[in-house]
């Protein structure tokens, strides 16, 4: 994303190029995963022998324009920071930002303000396991000139109540519902937990404890600026509960190679 910066010494205007920023929302306490999360923060719980946050980082790094990744943390923030410091990634800066755990919108706003982000962002939840071509998602987003793009994937109709779902027409999300009743759901295209946001989206996020799924996406859908990137992942696994976590590990058996 190009920005202009004035060179006052020479009286000229030059272009300065900034990379795209990645943001991982990982500030949840993981209360439904207790007692596991008494000792291990949710993003570091292993699935198939691999911390959940590693899946997320690898997906973000599929997007070649990302040069920095900020991780919003709260519960056991020092443990997550220590892990990231001792597990560096090539060609990208990783940094934790301590937030108040103010849901997806509040924590995102805190990161943007703290780091003075003025670039396009790729935002991801830090608690699911999937594979997604984020570079392809970015090309889709840029092609259609959306303010925000949400990654969507089809789920069985009897599972729609677990997700935010979207009605898509001509690549645009025209209606976004957060965890609707099955009888009221407009589709079975579920929120995958990956978003591309232009910096202008910040003005739609009120200060405080707020979810983008409730306050931002429906507003952007109304003005025709919310894209729906539909993909079919090889797997999409939530680890929000003990049952889901056990199921995720069982499903990944045979999919992932053993850790080195």
| Cβ contact 132:192 at 8 Å | yes
**Catalytic-residue membership of 179:** yes
Please write the tens of the pLDDT for every residue from 36-82: 767 788 888 888 878 999 999 999 999 989 989 999 888 778 888 88
What superfamily would CATH give domain 19-250? Spore Coat Polysaccharide Biosynthesis Protein SpsA; Chain A (3.90.550.10)
pTM, full prediction: 0.85
Q: Which listed residue (143, 179, 209, 222) is catalytic?
A: 179
Q: What is the chain's pLDDT, residue by residue, as a tens digit (260 residues)? A: 334 333 333 443 333 345 789 999 988 775 676 877 677 888 888 888 789 999 999 999 999 899 899 998 887 788 888 888 888 787 788 888 888 778 787 788 888 888 888 889 999 998 889 999 999 999 999 999 999 999 999 999 988 888 889 999 999 999 988 888 888 899 999 999 999 999 888 888 878 778 888 888 888 998 999 999 999 998 898 887 888 878 888 777 766 655 55
C-alpha 205/C-alpha 217 separation (Å) is 10
Pairing of strands 121-125, 189-197: antiparallel
Cα dihedral: 201, 179, 28, 132 (round 10): -70
- Please give the backbone phi and psi of residue 161, each rounded to the nearest 5 degrees, phi first: -65, -15
- State the sign of the Cα–Cα–Cα–Cα dihedral 211, 213, 219, 223: positive
Residue extents of the structural domains in the chain:
19-250
Closest C-alpha to 215, from 167, 168, 169, 164 = 164
Backbone CA torsion sign across 156, 162, 163, 168: positive
Distance between CA 136 and CA 151 in Å, rounded?
11
């Amino acid at each position: 994303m190009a920005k202009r910066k004035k060179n006052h010494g020479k009286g000229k205007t030059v272009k300065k190029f900034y990379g795209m920023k990645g943001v991982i929302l990982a500030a949840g306490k993981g209360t439904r995963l207790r007692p596991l999360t008494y000792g291990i923060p949710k993003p570091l719980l292993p699935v198939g022998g691999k911390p959940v946050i590693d899946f997320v980082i690898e997906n973000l790094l599929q997007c070649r324009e990302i040069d920095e990744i900020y991780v919003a943390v709260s519960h056991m923030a020092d443990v997550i920071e220590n892990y990231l410091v001792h597990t560096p990634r090539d060609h990208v800066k990783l940094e934790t930002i301590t937030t108040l755990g103010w849901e997806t919108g509040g924590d995102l706003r805190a990161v943007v303000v703290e780091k003075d982000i003025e670039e396009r962002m790729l935002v991801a939840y830090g608690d699911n396991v999937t594979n997604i071509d984020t570079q392809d998602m970015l090309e889709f987003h840029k092609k259609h000139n959306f303010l925000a793009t949400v990654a969507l994937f089809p789920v069985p109709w009897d599972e729609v109540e677990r997700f935010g779902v979207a009605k898509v027409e001509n690549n645009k999300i025209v209606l976004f519902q957060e965890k609707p009743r099955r009888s009221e759901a407009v589709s079975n295209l579920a929120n995958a937990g990956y978003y591309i946001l232009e910096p202008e989206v910040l003005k739609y996020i009120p200060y405080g404890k707020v979810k983008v799924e409730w306050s931002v996406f429906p507003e952007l859908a109304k003005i025709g600026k919310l894209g729906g990137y539909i993909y079919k992942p090889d797997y999409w696994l939530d680890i929000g509960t003990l049952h889901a976590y056990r199921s995720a590990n069982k499903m990944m058996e045979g999919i992932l190679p053993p850790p080195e």
